[in-house]
A = this chain, B = another copy of it.
C-alpha cells in the first residue's frame, strides 16, 4: 500500500469550445457551409444555389451563429451591386480541424459496430 498524499483538484472542462461543438453540430448546415467555403463558394446567393434544400433563411441563421463564435467572418465589398462574402477565420480553421478529428473517430466507432 502506498500512501500517496498528492491531491488532485477538479479539472474544469473547455466549456465554450464544447458548446461550439454542440451548437455547430446542432446547426446541421455548418459543415456544409465550411465545405462550400473550402470550395471558394463565398457569396450567400451562390451558396444557396449550390446546395439542395438550403434556404437563405437557414443559411443566414447558420452564418450568424458561426460569426458569433468567431468561426466565420463576413466581408462586404463596396461595389455596385454590393458584394458580401464569407470566410473561415484562423480560429475557425482550428475548430474545423477538431471537428474533422471527431468525424474520424465517429467513423471508427461506426466501423467497429458493423
Name the interface residues of A1-38: CB closer than 8 Å to any CB of B: 4, 6-18, 21-22, 24-25, 28-32, 35-36
So how many copies of this chain end up in the complex?
Answer: 2
- The number of chain A residues with a CB under 8 A from chain B is 47
In the assembly, what is the distance between CA of A8 and CA of B102, in Å? 21
| Main SS class of interface, A | helix
Q: Could you list which residues of chain A lie within 8 angstroms of chain B, going by C-beta atoms?
A: 4, 6-18, 21-22, 24-25, 28-32, 35-36, 39, 41, 46, 50-54, 70, 91, 94-95, 97-99, 101-103, 105-106, 108-109
B102:A98 contact, CB within 8 angstroms: yes
A99 vs chain B, min Cβ distance (A): 7
In the assembly, what is the distance between CA of A57 and CA of B37, in Å? 47
